[in-house]
Amino acid sequence: MKTLFTHPAETTDLPILSSQAQGWDNILVEQFQHPPGEEKSHFNEEHAICLSLAPRPVRLLQIKGGRTYVGLHSKGDVSVTPAKTPFFFRWESDDSCLQIRIASQFIQNVARETISASHGQVNATNPDRLELRLEFQTRDPQLEAIGMMLLAELKQESLGGRLYIESLANVLAVHLLRQYAAPQSRLIVHESGLSERQILQVVEYVDEYLHQDIKLADLATLLNISESHLSHRFKQAIGTTPYQYLLQQRIERAKQLLKQGDRSIMDIAFLCGFNSHSHLSKQFRQLTGMTPKTYREN
């Protein structure tokens, strides 16, 4: 089966390398290098895997299917977006990534063949109802290795490697089925307590005023809702409380500053909203398992 892939209408970002011109079946592989920006789209018939190639960690906001994640993506980090899942990405510095889109129908066909070959011994659901599990950020050495082999083949622009690409596509499909398959009946629908616009308002406010004493009342006023509603809805949308989110973002900012320059840890503490060197060190150790000094030296 040959699947024709097209770029989503909402996206103007063009890849520096793409397999589209090479006519690979069932899989589209593209390498992107782009300045700070954002993208909003979805793929109806393909599952998308994004492998970070950035030499430096990139702060990334992801909103997928009503769920939100903000954090640093480092080289080798992987995200998985199932077909038909709307997504919004915003990245704050130069980014480099490999995007792999694999036809959902192809995944289903491989699942059928796997079940048939095992004579019904595989514990699997109906392939027609098969879904992949959404992942914001994970480490998967095998998936990373498959991605790098696909990238190497993409750079060669070899017309004689069709069988090799088909083999890699099959290996990728089987790996996704083994590691990321989630029967549709077991999928949990996450209803976002906040709209995408409200989530972005909070994220941008926290990012801008991170060094200040941000109160729950400030965020509630920003969205024109009560503090109790904000706490409940924010946890629905983000998966954590406003205080925990603020603390996570302060630690993420501290990580960036520790790696980027030679500012003193005391200065970094104040720039990230902590009231002292010891306050930063205590919270940093709790969230990362190491002191700011050790993190900087690693």
Q: Quick one: 179 and 221 in the same domain?
A: no
Cα torsion angle, 90, 29, 75, 143, sign:
positive
Q: Quick one: 171 and 257 in the same domain?
A: no
Query: Would you tell me how many other CB atoms lie within 10 Å of the CB of residue 47?
Result: 24
Q: Quick one: 222 and 76 in the same domain?
A: no
User: 0.85 exceeded by the pTM?
Assistant: no
* Domain C-terminal end among 140, 161, 186: 186
Q: Quick one: 163 and 200 in the same domain?
A: no
Instruction: Answer yes or no: is 49 within a domain.
Output: yes
CATH of the domain at 292: 1.10.10.60
Structural domain for 278, as ranges? 196-297
* Of 179 and 159, more confident: 179
Instruction: Answer yes or no: is 211 within a domain.
Output: yes
d(CA 239, CA 67) in angstroms, rounded, equals 8
Q: Quick one: 178 and 287 in the same domain?
A: no
Instruction: Give residue 234's pLDDT band: very low, low, confident or very high (50, 70, 90).
Output: confident
Render pLDDT for 197-209 as a digit per residue (tens, 0 to 9): 788 888 889 988 9
Q: Quick one: 181 and 214 in the same domain?
A: no
Q: Quick one: 200 and 177 in the same domain?
A: no
Q: Quick one: 58 and 169 in the same domain?
A: yes
Render pLDDT for 96-149 as a digit per residue (tens, 0 to 9): 999 999 999 999 888 887 665 444 434 445 666 678 989 998 999 999 999 999
